[in-house]
Amino acid sequence: MLNTFQQASHPMLPKMTHDEAARQEFAKSFKGFIQGKLLPGLGPVYASRVSKAFEKANGRPPADRRDIRAGMVRELYFQHYAAANRIAQELLWEATNISVDRELPELIEKARELSASTTAVLDIPASFETPRYVTALDIHCMPGGYATEVTKDDVSTGVLYDRGVYLYAMGYMGPYNDDMGRSVCNYVKRNLKGFQPRRILDMGCTVGHSTLPFKEMFPDAEVWGIDVAAPQVRYAHARAAGLGLEVNFAQMNAEETRFPDGYFDLVVSHILLHETSGKAMPRIFKECERLLAPGGYMIHADLPPFNLMDPFTQFILDNETWYNNEPFWGAMRELDQPALAKAAGFDPAEVRFDTAPMAVMEFAAQAAGGYSEDAATAVAEREFTAGEYAPGGGWEVLIAHKAAASAHQKAA
């Protein structure tokens, strides 16, 4: 039985005192309360008041998230919801940071020991320019953002992310926070039958949550995680070693990596794209195309673009842009990602969106005896209201295939 109600322990997580654990549990439960009790109240406010008032004033129903937002922000109930959400977010980082700060010297030492115990590569160059879209603000209100370093060999923002994301996800990402990677691996195994990647790259890996399932599911493959934030890859390398997996990590920019042409068979990312920028995204797609061997696949997992959601869901999810320091969250969902992938050189006939069912839901269905190939729709033992995670119980994947003879080769 998969226990998603407690984070699985590993050597790089800080030990919490009783009070710290209680604070963190409170932050997680508070988020659960907002998600489970306050969020459902927004629908009736919209249907009974905002939608009607809009229609009366404009002679038409609200058409998109902007129309909905204009009315909802004036509603006391929405203001209360949005404020509570922001407070919960700040609280969960604060509650986690107390343990991180207290244990930092021991955690840095532990990371050094673990990293020295593995033959997997850790590549952090002496000088590196982290893009401004990562450093300009504390994304999703995480103090210090991803890349801040305050001491030699700093891992603090990595620890903070690992624990904080578990609380944020309230178990939806599984005990190792690895649901996205696991779901994409399942997708590859089921849908790309016979595809055996020899080298796999995970872009924007942070602490390697989604990277490690690729090593687990493709044990013979050479697996790499890259990120622009040094403390994240440092922590990721130590965490992977602590969990007994040989995975390589490097500080690199997905827009322009240091790998040779055609080095990988599979390039993936998980919720990376919405934290980049309108200029970076096309560059990342081009870099994926360059890095792939002919016949390889690029898969980017995230939430769906807005045109695949109803306007009310768009409005709810776009609160990330407005209240959670995620400036590119909404704009990214309006870009024509398949067009960008085609422009980057991928086979136009083989670029598409698809859904990778959430692995945690499949585990739950399995435990309830309801597992089948169609397990995403099977009855889960635990009730998952996907909320702002993966509407419809799945991760949206943009999948693109590099033709066996690439566009560049054909042109040459």
Ligand X SMILES: C[S@@+](CC[C@H](N)C(=O)[O-])C[C@H]1O[C@@H](n2cnc3c(N)ncnc32)[C@H](O)[C@@H]1O
Given candidates 163, 209, 286, 300, which one binds ligand X under the rule CB under 6 A?
Answer: 209
Given candidates 20, 103, 162, 275, which one binds ligand X under the rule CB under 6 A?
Answer: 275
Give me the least distance between CB of 362 and ligand X, in Å please. Answer: 18
Tell me the DSSP string of 240-267: HHHTT---EEEE-BTTB-SSPTT-EEEE
Given candidates 65, 69, 239, 270, which one binds ligand X under the rule CB under 6 A?
Answer: 270
Residue pair 232/206 in contact by the 8 Å Cβ criterion: yes
Name which of 45 and 271 has its Cβ closer to ligand X.
Answer: 271
The two tokens of residue 9 are 């322990």
SS3 152: coil
Give me the least distance between CB of 209 and ligand X, in Å please. Answer: 4
Given candidates 141, 280, 299, 397, which one binds ligand X under the rule CB under 6 A?
Answer: 280
Give me the least distance between CB of 184 and ligand X, in Å please. Answer: 9
Complete edge-to-edge strand list for the sheet that includes strand 351-357: 122-123, 248-251, 222-227, 199-203, 264-270, 292-302, 394-401, 351-357
Given candidates 154, 222, 255, 302, which one binds ligand X under the rule CB under 6 A?
Answer: 255
**Count of residues of this chain found to bind ligand X when the rule CB under 6 A is applied:** 24
Name which of 226 and 267 has its Cβ closer to ligand X.
Answer: 226
Paired strand residues for 401: 297
Tell me the DSSP string of 191-244: HSTT---SEEEEES-TTTTTTHHHHHHSTTSEEEEEES-HHHHHHHHHHHHHTT
Asked whether position 146 contacts ligand X by CB under 6 A, the answer is yes
Taking alpha carbons only, the member of 312, 301, 229 closest to residue 271 is 301
SS3 101: helix
Given candidates 42, 141, 205, 303, which one binds ligand X under the rule CB under 6 A?
Answer: 205
Asked whether position 155 contacts ligand X by CB under 6 A, the answer is no
| d(C-alpha 203, C-alpha 256), whole Å | 11
Give me the least distance between CB of 181 and ligand X, in Å please. Answer: 6
In this chain, which stretch among 94-102, 250-258, 331-339, 380-388 interacts with ligand X, using CB under 6 A?
250-258
Give me the least distance between CB of 175 and ligand X, in Å please. Answer: 14
Taking alpha carbons only, the member of 232, 269, 229, 233 closest to residue 129 is 229
In this chain, which stretch among 25-33, 102-110, 247-255, 330-338 interacts with ligand X, using CB under 6 A?
247-255
Asked whether position 360 contacts ligand X by CB under 6 A, the answer is no
| d(C-alpha 280, C-alpha 305), whole Å | 17
**Residue at shortest CB range from ligand X:** 204
In this chain, which stretch among 43-51, 95-103, 107-115, 228-236 interacts with ligand X, using CB under 6 A?
228-236
Asked whether position 206 contacts ligand X by CB under 6 A, the answer is yes
Give me the least distance between CB of 254 and ligand X, in Å please. Answer: 3
In this chain, which stretch among 22-30, 46-54, 202-210, 335-343 interacts with ligand X, using CB under 6 A?
202-210
Asked whether position 23 contacts ligand X by CB under 6 A, the answer is no
In this chain, which stretch among 121-129, 223-231, 330-338, 388-396 interacts with ligand X, using CB under 6 A?
223-231
SS3 278: coil
Give me the least distance between CB of 282 and ligand X, in Å please. Answer: 12
Asked whether position 232 contacts ligand X by CB under 6 A, the answer is yes
Q: How many CB atoms lie within 10 A of CB 8?
A: 15
User: How many Å is the maximal CA-CA distance in the chain?
Assistant: 68
| d(C-alpha 93, C-alpha 159), whole Å | 11
SS3 395: strand
Asked whether position 180 contacts ligand X by CB under 6 A, the answer is yes
In this chain, which stretch among 213-221, 226-234, 329-337, 351-359 interacts with ligand X, using CB under 6 A?
226-234
| d(C-alpha 114, C-alpha 249), whole Å | 14
Name which of 238 and 378 has its Cβ closer to ligand X.
Answer: 238
Give me the least distance between CB of 130 and ligand X, in Å please. Answer: 8
Taking alpha carbons only, the member of 406, 395, 311, 404 closest to residue 353 is 395
Taking alpha carbons only, the member of 107, 207, 115, 119 closest to residue 166 is 207
Give me the least distance between CB of 382 and ligand X, in Å please. Answer: 22
Instruction: Give residues in contact with ligand X (CB under 6 A).
Output: 131, 134, 146, 180, 203-206, 209-210, 226-229, 232, 253-255, 270-272, 275-276, 280
